[in-house]
């Protein structure tokens, strides 16, 4: 393992000029009147977003925002990993491993990290502070893609354990949503000697098999969430079918067309967030485009979607499995999350010590509701410290 190396985001001017040229020469498809979002991304909205991307979005400003945080690279087993390592000024702060998913990135946590490292500025106290480690997943943003086939969430968890060890953290808490939730559950399995507890804002598990009628344990509000999840599985998982079977074919289009990439990612942010049809209510366009531009400039779309197929194969062959977890688990439920497991089901599957139901927020909880997200982690830390 090599030494930790400082890193700064610095996209060449030529890459920005190339993006602008491609945006200027977009070939737009037709869209029948009144179609809206029923068949996918609404063209009128996307054209407005792309005009903003081309003429108003300031990548250099977004880049400076990324570079406000301490970023590094570290080689682990022959492959570099890019990560933010933002230490709190409070020496007794708890190390926290934050793990993103798809179609997100470290951009999801830019408004959360200051709340975690300096909580006294946001209504918390020094006792709530964290030292934050936020890696880019392998093949996402500035973390190079694995060259071997079959790279999966267990492999990522093992790399994250090596990263925390390299940074000198012998005890830490891990948190994740989306892919990050699966990776974080694996974290508890591969590194229980050092990972003190895990916190999830997505739990995807089936009904318990030890009772005759699992639905009898479900509250009315949870029934509604299960109904929404079933609707999502019927109508909103086309992306998953493609990315877990033929990701390379999709990648040719998204790697070559910034508007295609923008549409593919924006649809998920629109459909999975708590914006009631108006994405700007919860995720501003500058934040959204910072995330999309990070995918574009790093050229990572092929490797990011390949994780779906590689992990599906690993699960089918038993390489990745959900073994029992022996460390404390906290769960945050955001009302517009696309996946949901009722509390009674979770309690039968995981050693639950903390359960929080937010008033608002969706799949991209840290991005949509950074204050609620941070406050919940403060409370979870207090629970874990008291055990």
Sorted by where each begins, the domain ranges of the chain are 43-206+214-386
Residue from 172, 308, 334, 339 carrying the catalytic annotation: 308
85 catalytically annotated: no
pLDDT of 149: 85
Q: Are 332 and 376 in contact (CB under 8 A)?
A: yes
Average pLDDT over every residue of 276-295: 94
The pLDDT of residue 41 is 95
* Of 239, 270, 363, 376, catalytic: 363
Residue 243 predicted with pLDDT over 80: yes
> What's the pLDDT at 210?
87
Specify the residue for token string 């009315």.
220
Place of tokens 């919940």: 376
**Pairing, β 5-7 against β 71-76:** antiparallel
Instruction: Using pLDDT thresholds of 50, 70 and 90, give the confidence band for residue 344.
Output: very high
Q: Would you state the pLDDT for residue 322?
A: 82
* Residues in Cβ contact with 198 at an 8 Å cutoff, skipping those fewer than 6 apart: 173, 174, 175, 176, 184, 185, 187, 188, 325, 327, 328, 329, 330
Output the six-digit token pair for 332: 């945050």
* Section 49-75 average pLDDT: 98
Strands 352-357 and 195-200, by their bridges, are: unpaired
Distance of alpha carbon 23 from alpha carbon 258, whole angstroms: 7
The pairing of strands 172-176 and 94-99 is: parallel
Q: What is the mean pLDDT of the segment spanning 156-180?
A: 98
Q: Is the pLDDT of residue 1 over 70?
A: no
User: Does 327 score more than 80 pLDDT?
Assistant: yes
Please indicate whether residue 363 is annotated as part of the active site.
yes
Q: Which residues contact 262 (CB under 8 A, 6 or more apart)?
A: 46, 49, 50, 53, 292
CB 325 within 8 A of CB 301: no
42 is catalytic: no
Distance CA 341, CA 256 (A): 38
Which of 42, 155, 178, 274 is catalytic? The answer is: 178
Q: Which CATH architecture has domain 43-206+214-386?
A: 3-Layer(aba) Sandwich (3.40)
Q: Work out the angle at residue 71's Cα, subtended by the Cα atoms of residues 292 and 247, and round it to the nearest 5 degrees.
A: 35
Q: Which of helix, strand or coil describes residue 271?
A: helix
Compute the distance between CA of residue 357 and CA of residue 333 in angstroms, rounded to an integer: 5
Mean pLDDT of 185-211: 95
pTM: 0.96
Bridge partner list, 354:
330
Residue 321 has a pLDDT of 87
What mean pLDDT value characterizes the chain?
Answer: 96
Q: What is the pLDDT of residues 199-223, one digit of tens each?
A: 999 999 989 888 889 999 999 999 9
């Amino acid at each position: 393992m090599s030494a930790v190396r400082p890193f700064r985001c610095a996209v060449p001017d030529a890459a920005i000029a190339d993006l602008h040229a491609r945006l200027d020469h977009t070939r737009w498809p037709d869209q029948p009147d009144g179609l809206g979002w029923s068949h996918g991304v609404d063209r009128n909205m996307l054209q407005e977003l792309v005009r903003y991307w081309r003429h108003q979005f300031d990548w250099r400003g977004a880049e400076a925002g990324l570079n406000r945080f301490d970023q590094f690279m570290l080689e682990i087993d022959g492959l570099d990993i890019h990560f933010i390592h933002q230490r709190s000024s409070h020496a007794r702060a708890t190390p926290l491993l934050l793990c993103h998913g798809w179609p997100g990135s470290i951009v999801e946590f830019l408004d959360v990290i200051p709340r975690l490292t300096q909580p006294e500025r946001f209504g918390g106290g020094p006792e709530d502070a964290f030292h934050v480690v936020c890696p880019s997943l392998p093949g996402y943003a500035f973390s190079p893609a694995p060259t071997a086939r079959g790279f999966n969430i267990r492999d990522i968890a093992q790399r994250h354990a090596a990263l925390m060890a390299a940074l000198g953290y012998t005890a830490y808490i891990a948190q994740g949503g989306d892919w990050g939730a699966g990776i974080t559950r694996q974290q508890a399995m591969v590194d229980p000697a050092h990972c003190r507890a895990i916190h999830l804002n997505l739990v995807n598990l089936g009904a318990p098999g030890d009772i005759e009628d699992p639905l009898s344990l479900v509250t009315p509000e949870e029934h509604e969430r299960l109904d929404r999840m079933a609707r999502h599985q019927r109508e909103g998982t086309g992306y998953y079918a493609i990315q877990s079977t033929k990701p390379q074919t999709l990648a040719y289009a998204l790697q070559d067309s910034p508007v295609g990439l923008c549409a593919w990612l924006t649809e998920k942010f629109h459909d999975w967030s708590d914006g009631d049809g108006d994405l700007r209510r919860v995720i501003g366009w500058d934040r959204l485009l910072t995330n999309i531009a990070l995918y574009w400039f790093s050229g990572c779309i092929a490797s990011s979607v390949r994780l779906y197929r590689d992990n599906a194969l690993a699960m089918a062959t038993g390489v990745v499995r959900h073994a029992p977890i022996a460390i404390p688990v906290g769960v945050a439920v955001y009302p517009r999350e696309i996946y949901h497991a009722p509390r009674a089901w979770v309690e039968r599957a995981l050693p639950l010590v903390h359960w929080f139901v937010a008033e608002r927020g969706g799949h991209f909880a840290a991005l949509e509701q950074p204050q609620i997200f941070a406050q919940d982690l403060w409370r979870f830390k207090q629970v874990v410290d008291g055990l």
